[in-house]
Structure 1
């Protein structure tokens, strides 16, 4: 079943307000420059913020995402005409080639089973030229990031130009090892409607991510624990990897 975060037009409309241009966006823009990439694939491009920004800077960009609603927003962004948009999963990339592939927005956590995650990594590798790089991030399960997913700690209110004020909070429903289930609640003040979206995520350890990357055909890996490129340690909230194709 499709997560309503990526299908319900009201929730998709809130996505950019909840996920604005921030340190993670800048990290990937800087990475494109540092690796001297020219062709970039954004796997799970969502509403296209990063893809359009990269295209604006002169890169040849392909954005792929299974959400029709999110791509609708992406296609309306300034500069969207410079991006090739593909509706579907990574397998739809076909003969697309790239110097750099990205999976941002913690999309790695959405793959609940290892087979689908590793199939996506394999497609990314096939897309990359020899020596090309794949970059993505996942939250570090060692620090239990889901501990803050309580109504008191996660509650916030945003003001959307179309839907007005919306109160949003999360409620953890199950946490077992590296799998977490939780509800996100959206209360629309204007019409009094409340939407509850159940979600499940898979938080893989650095070791598990490394093993998956090696099986997919990546060798050299750079790891960072935050968007300032600090080394990973026991307190790192992020596991950010830049992996090189064999």
Structure 2
């Protein structure tokens, strides 16, 4: 079930500002595990910030995130990193978010 606060693109744009990765103990906890994995599926990825941190930290494998709210998964954090590689974050197939325009 999507978090309706983040279905709105404006509110989704505030997510990373309000929740910087440096302030989350979760990120520091999960990053070492992600870095040792060949592929990662992050269900509930939000804006994909954790996956991008992994890519920026040198992860060269496949990183994919799924999140139902279209506004979160379409945020710029889900795009290309400065190294030219990508971390993909998108709504799950078959959800209203993935099928709506």
Global fold match (TM > 0.5): yes
Distance 1:61 1:76, change over 3 A: closer
Residues 8-36 of structure 1 show CA distances to partners (whole Å, capped at 9, x for unaligned) of 12211111122111321111102234xx3
Root-mean-square deviation (CA, aligned residues, Å) is: 2.4
How do residues 163-202 of structure 1 correspond to structure 2 at under 5 angstroms? Answer: none
Q: Which of these two proteins has the greater Rg computed from alpha carbons?
A: 1
**Superposition TM-score, scaled by structure 2 size:** 0.68
**Highest RCO, 1 vs 2 (Cα 8 Å, sep ≥ 6):** 2
**Superposition TM-score, scaled by structure 1 size:** 0.31
Q: Report the CA distance between 1:81 and its aligned residue.
A: 4.7
Aligned length in residues: 87
Gaps of 5+ in 2: 94-101
> Which has the larger share of helix?
2
Gaps of 5+ in 1: 93-246
Secondary structure in structure 2 of the residue aligned to 1:46: coil
CA distance in 2 between counterparts of 1:51 and 1:25 reads 10
Would the aligned equivalents of 2:74 and 2:90 in 1 still touch at CA under 8 Å?
A: no
Which of 10, 15, 23 is the equivalent residue of 2:25?
23
CA distance in 2 between counterparts of 1:3 and 1:41 reads 19
